[in-house]
Amino acid sequence: MADQDQEKNNETRVTEFILLGFPGSPRVQMLMFMFFLIMYTLTVLGNASIIILVTTNRRLHSPMYFFLCNLSFLEVWYTTASVPKILAIFLGRSRSISFAGCLLQMYFILSFGCTEHILLAVMAYDRYLAICYPLHYHTIMDMSLSGKLAGGAWLGGFLVVMFPSYLITRLSFCGSNVINNFFCNIDNWVVLSCTNTSFLEKTVFVTAIFVIIGSCVVTLLSYVFIISTIVRIPSTEGRKKAFSTCSSHFAVVIIWYGSTVFLFVKPSKQTALEVNKIVSIFNLIVVPVMNPFIYTLRNKEVRDVLRNKFHRI
């Protein structure tokens, strides 16, 4: 009984956390601020341009570009969930974040990330239907099914994170409330907690396996069938045209999975937090800004639409 009372005394009701961010001189902080600000601005402008381009051009009113609009919209909010607070930290303003604010930030970042995994798998399935069943594609993948698949991706991404988020609210904290990161992440909650986090860690691991590996399997299977169909096309021109319709998506998939598998598929808290911060920058800042450029530079149809718009100006 005495040991239990002592343990309760050691536990503190944490009401806020301190985001450590990146150490460095004021000059380094200002350089980091400029980098994040430029990348965030490019992310918002680039993805907003994709949305405007698709919605205002009837030539792009197809399921593939409907999914692309969803991806662009997602990228804007994915970065917005973390970057404004990061910019405030670099400017020397308050590094503190409330318990509820930290939990909400983590929930939205993870939810948007899970939604992107599911959405990329949906886009791979769309390309599979378009290339492997071209004559039946418009009958199968109509706007009704497109809307249901996109809505399912959003709903699934937000639902799958709810239980791990609830488990975090049950944690107790004692000692330091300093988070060694520039945003709230599950690893940091686990490190700071003074209660048993094994169930939370296993839950997060299973969730990550379900979302990341599950969506990866769907994507890989889709591309196995896509590639096998493309290589059987007799003409070189036909093969090039078929491959061009999925090359942009394939490039985005490789970049996205390369940066997220390291971050989320790990069963224990024995992780290098400093390395995680570097990978998180790539995941939260660099990847979202690359998508608009990949889709405009590698997609002939989007390039043609942009070229026509510039000629009219």
Cα separation, 153 vs 187, whole angstroms: 25
> What is the bridge-based pairing of β-strands 178-179 and 16-19?
parallel
Question: Any idea how long the chain is?
Answer: 313
Containing domain of residue 154, as a range?
2-312
Strand order through the sheet with 16-19: 96-98, 16-19, 178-179
pLDDT (0 to 100) of residue 190: 85
Mean pLDDT of 113-117: 93
Tell me, rounded to whole angstroms, the distance of Cα 241 from its chain centroid. 29
Over residues 30-53, mean pLDDT? 91
Give the pLDDT band of residue 155 (cuts 50, 70, 90).
very high
d(CA 268, CA 191): 10
* Three-class SS state of 182: coil
Most confident of 156-160, 255-259, 269-273: 156-160
Mean pLDDT of 27-55: 90
Specify the pLDDT at position 306: 66
Give the residue from 254, 284, 300, 260 showing the smallest Cα distance to 43: 284
Give the closest residue to 164 by CA, choosing from 244, 103, 73, 254. 103
Three-state DSSP at 154 gives helix
Which H helix or E strand runs over 97? strand 96-98
Which residue did the predictor score with more confidence, 261 or 280? 280
Lowest-pLDDT choice from 62-66, 117-121, 286-290: 286-290
Q: Is 115 exposed, middle or buried (0-12, 13-18, 19+ CB in 10 A)?
A: buried
Min mean pLDDT across 80-84, 160-164, 267-271, 296-300 is at 267-271
In terms of pLDDT, which residue wins out, 290 or 129?
A: 129
- Does residue 98 register a pLDDT over 80? yes
pLDDT for position 154: 97
Task: Look up the CATH number of the domain holding residue 111.
Answer: 1.20.1070.10
99 closest CA partner among 43, 174, 18, 35 = 18
The pairing of strands 178-179 and 96-98 is unpaired
Give 255 or 208, the one with higher predicted confidence: 208
43-61, pLDDT tens digit by residue? Answer: 999 899 889 888 888 888 8
pLDDT per residue as tens digits for the range 66-82: 998 999 999 999 999 99
| pLDDT confidence bin for 238, thresholds 50/70/90 | confident
Q: CA 174, CA 189: separation in Å to the nearest integer?
A: 11
pLDDT range class, residue 4, cuts 50, 70, 90: very low
Question: Range with the lowest mean pLDDT among 176-190, 223-237, 258-272?
Answer: 258-272
β-bridge partners, 96: 18
Distance CA 50, CA 177 (A): 41
Number of domains in the chain: 1
Lowest average pLDDT, out of 91-95, 135-139, 180-184, 221-225, goes to: 91-95
